Amino acid sequence: MVFSANVKTRFPLSLILFGAYDKSGTNMYGASNLFATTAIDEYVLKEYSQPPGLELLWLGGAEIGVGLFSFEIQNHLSHLYFNKFSGSLLLRNQIYDSGGHPDAEGVEINNLRLAQSLGLKLGLKISFLPYVKRPVSLEPFVLGTWNFSNSITGKGNLWYVSLGINTSL
């Protein structure tokens, strides 16, 4: 389940709350242990590593973002409209029950682990206007994070860079 809220004021803020529960076990990036690997496993964002033997029943988290800039482009190439280039500063948090696993990432708080990172997200919004009534938008982005909870514990990677894409109808 994912809940997302955006506030468009003079000071652009965003808040995303998320959570996952799987009684058969899951991992830090939400893949179920019940199903076999899928064709997109190679491309899923994997900000935190999954040590062998760590099976999670649940995880939750929040991402708080502040828009740094947003440039309207409004230029097109045939049916592709390049709408916007933007950048955001993000504070990302994940909390989960590690079951006392010694290699779990994040700071330990009352038998739970809190994994935190500070990130910069650069994105582009592209609309594709086919011959239908509703446009389709693609939002490719680059995300770079500093996993500062790992710098506190000394476990896991300190830096993470990934590419992703969001879509909307």
Per-residue pLDDT of 99-117, as tens digits, reads: 888 888 889 988 899 999 9
DSSP helix/strand/coil, 55: coil
Question: Percentage helix, strand, coil, to 5, in the chain?
Answer: 5, 60, 35
Percent of all residues in the chain with a pLDDT value above 70, rounded to a whole number: 75
Neighbour tally for 90: CB within 10 Å: 18
pLDDT at site 1 = 47
Amino acid at 106: G
Amino acid at 8: K
Pairing of strands 112-128, 136-146: antiparallel
Measured between alpha carbons, how far is 141 from 163 in angstroms, rounded to an integer?
Answer: 6
Q: What's this model's pTM, rounded to 2 decimal places?
A: 0.78
Beta bridge partners of 3: 17
Taking only Cα atoms into account, the Rg of the chain, rounded to an integer number of angstroms, comes to 18
Neighbour tally for 4: CB within 10 Å: 10
Measured between alpha carbons, how far is 149 from 165 in angstroms, rounded to an integer?
Answer: 26
**Regarding predicted confidence, which is higher, 91 or 59?**
91
Measured between alpha carbons, how far is 48 from 56 in angstroms, rounded to an integer?
Answer: 13
Per-residue pLDDT of 19-76, as tens digits, reads: 877 777 666 555 655 666 666 666 666 677 777 778 788 888 888 999 999 888 777 6
